[in-house]
Amino acid sequence: GNAGYARQAWENKRAIQNLCRDLLVHRKLPSPAWPDHIVEFFLAELALCDSNNFVSNVGVGEREARVWSELVKRRNMRFAHGIGRSGTLLDIQPKAFGSSLLQTLTNDLTLDALRLAGYSKRSTASATVFPMAAGMTIAMVIRAVAQGRKEARFVVWARVDQKSAFKAIQVAGYTPLIVPLVPHPSHPSQLVLSLPHLRAILATHDPSTIACVLTTTSCFAPRAPDDLPAVARICADLDIPHVVNNVYGVASPRCAGLISEACHVGRVDAFVQSGDTNFLVPVGGAVVAGPRRDVVEQVAGMYAGRAGVGQVVDLFATLVGLGREGWVGVLEERKALFTHLHTSLSTFASAQNSRVLSTPHNDISIALSLSPLSSSSPSSSSSSSSPSPSPPLAYLGSLLFTRHVSGARVVFPGGASTVAGHEFKGWMSHIDEYAEGAYLTAATALGGTRRDVDGFVERLERCWREFGKKGGMETEREKKGVG
């Protein structure tokens, strides 16, 4: 009868409320994953805890989260007051109890996700979502760890050709001391941090003048992750803060292993990763994690103002929507995809008389030598005086771009770029002159599919052939559109 139906309905509501309570208590990725309607219900319940959704609230402050557009309210899931207080992002915002709960919960879910990805417990005492790009967040971390170091003027940094990280040092207000890369002793195609250079720099500067050492894990081949344990030991010895740029390294077992080990054997203050490349959310946020809760809290305490709730909502919905099995699943898929990419490119390379550069310590990105193309390139052969691979290789990039391949990069010697006032020779190859010449990089990030890899290799083959035919001479069409 109706009473029975009502009871069953009520049981289900209670079951869902229990799911919500369990999440708030256990603070781990749920298993099984939550369907969207439970995610939305949970968010709606939290939003009712924010004062902008109170029925009887009257506001006479300057900041009352008065959102005019219904469309905007809706896409913000009725959250409007932001997160944190002017004191620290981690404070409960009195006007936004729901948003505040959501943030701390999401921080803990992120911590769980990191541990499931292989980060040791010691390396993950705490994690916090930041509403800024990873580069901006690194700048904040640098400022936070350097807070007590009144004499600090420098940040020691192993070169990696990615603008954001380098700009972060400038934003933080420090001068970079750049440690160059060198070929790996056993794998000469692979570029690694030069520890002797690092030691030399530290020997010639008073440790008190150094804000921190900034190392990098995730990077493009032929660069490999920095030797974090070695650096961590040095930092521990010299009492210098150590910040790790792990910008897209979460899914990489190698990055996880290096960070975990470094936290065990030496000093790591915090490691920073972007939201989008690691957690399948839109661009915009970052996560700071590390072995010391106080450091993460110090960073949170530096943010001047309240944070928008967007990054937290996105990360929350994604993590509970994936659930424990889903998250582990996408990590596994990426690993398998890397193997698939490596195999596919190797097969392609041998067919083209080229080769995949040997970079065994990079399990994210792969570099394919473009030497065969460099020598056959018409324009380079015509300039007989220059035996080196020539700029028209950029045309291969154009061809890939116009065939809707994104993310592949053609790198050739001779490039240079000025970033934040510093000129980098051989820009994009992480070293002034790379012995292997021109190459192409491809990577496997979380969420990539076999369709991506197979489509890429197939289109690469067509472009390679077309490049062989036309060489560096741009067609009419290319010139107009892309040139």
* DSSP secondary structure letters along 186-201: S-TTSEEE-HHHHHHH
Cα–Cα distances (Å) from 270 to 150, 177, 255, 347, 395, in that order, read 20, 20, 14, 40, 41
* DSSP secondary structure letters along 343-395: HHHHHHHHHTT--B---TT-SSEEEEE-HHHHHH-HHHHHSTT--S--GGGHH
Sole window of 178-186, 308-316, 377-385, 428-436 interacting with a second copy (rule: CB under 8 A): 308-316
Cα–Cα distances (Å) from 95 to 62, 316, 454, in that order, read 13, 21, 51
Contact between 60 and a second copy (CB under 8 A)?
yes
Contact between 187 and a second copy (CB under 8 A)?
no
Taking Cα atoms as reference points, which of 275, 283, 270 lies closest to residue 250? 275
Contact between 163 and a second copy (CB under 8 A)?
yes
Task: Give the nearer residue to a second copy in terms of CB position, either 1 or 196.
Answer: 1
Whole-angstrom Cα distance, residue 165 to residue 226? 14
Look-up: residue for tokens 């690469």?
460
User: Footprint of a second copy on residues 454-483 (CB under 8 A)?
Assistant: 455-456, 459, 480-483
Task: Give the nearer residue to a second copy in terms of CB position, either 56 or 204.
Answer: 56
Task: Give the nearer residue to a second copy in terms of CB position, either 397 or 472.
Answer: 397
Binding residue for a second copy (CB under 8 A) from 364, 431, 438, 463?
Answer: 364
Q: Minimum Å distance from CB 199 to a second copy?
A: 28
Binding residue for a second copy (CB under 8 A) from 23, 29, 80, 141?
Answer: 80
Q: Minimum Å distance from CB 363 to a second copy?
A: 12
Give the binding-site size for a second copy (rule: CB under 8 A): 144
**3-state secondary structure at position 429:** coil
Binding residue for a second copy (CB under 8 A) from 21, 26, 237, 283?
Answer: 283
**Pattern 417-456, binding to a second copy, x per CB under 8 A?**
-------------------------xxxxxxx--xxx-xx
The sign one gets for the Cα dihedral 428, 433, 438, 439 is negative
The residue type found at 360 is: P
Task: Give the nearer residue to a second copy in terms of CB position, either 81 or 430.
Answer: 81
Task: Give the nearer residue to a second copy in terms of CB position, either 263 or 396.
Answer: 396
Contact between 3 and a second copy (CB under 8 A)?
yes
Sole window of 23-31, 72-80, 105-113, 373-381 interacting with a second copy (rule: CB under 8 A): 72-80
**Pattern 309-348, binding to a second copy, x per CB under 8 A?**
xxx-xx--xx--xx-------x----------x-------
Contact between 407 and a second copy (CB under 8 A)?
yes
Contact between 265 and a second copy (CB under 8 A)?
no
Tell me the HSE value of 283 on the side-chain side, using a 13 A CA sphere: 3
SS3 per-residue string spanning 9-44: HHHHHHHHHHHHHHHHHHCCCCCCCCCHHHHHHHHH
Binding residue for a second copy (CB under 8 A) from 66, 385, 423, 469?
Answer: 66
Task: Give the nearer residue to a second copy in terms of CB position, either 234 or 288.
Answer: 288
User: Footprint of a second copy on residues 213-242 (CB under 8 A)?
Assistant: 218, 220
Cα–Cα distances (Å) from 123 to 47, 244, 263, 287, in that order, read 33, 12, 6, 14
Taking Cα atoms as reference points, which of 249, 255, 226, 231 lies closest to residue 241? 231
Whole-angstrom Cα distance, residue 452 to residue 290? 33
Contact between 277 and a second copy (CB under 8 A)?
yes
Contact between 4 and a second copy (CB under 8 A)?
yes
Contact between 168 and a second copy (CB under 8 A)?
yes
Binding residue for a second copy (CB under 8 A) from 21, 26, 63, 422?
Answer: 63
Binding residue for a second copy (CB under 8 A) from 27, 28, 64, 297?
Answer: 64
Contact between 140 and a second copy (CB under 8 A)?
yes
Task: Give the nearer residue to a second copy in terms of CB position, either 188 or 284.
Answer: 284
188 by Cβ neighbours in 10 Å (0-12 / 13-18 / 19+) ranks as middle
Contact between 33 and a second copy (CB under 8 A)?
no
Task: Give the nearer residue to a second copy in terms of CB position, either 52 or 190.
Answer: 52
Q: Which of the 8 DSSP states describes residue 223?
A: B
User: Footprint of a second copy on residues 386-405 (CB under 8 A)?
Assistant: 401-402, 404-405
Contact between 37 and a second copy (CB under 8 A)?
yes
Whole-angstrom Cα distance, residue 192 to residue 319? 34
Binding residue for a second copy (CB under 8 A) from 119, 154, 157, 248?
Answer: 248
Q: Minimum Å distance from CB 351 to a second copy?
A: 18
Cα–Cα distances (Å) from 286 to 132, 283, 405, in that order, read 6, 9, 26
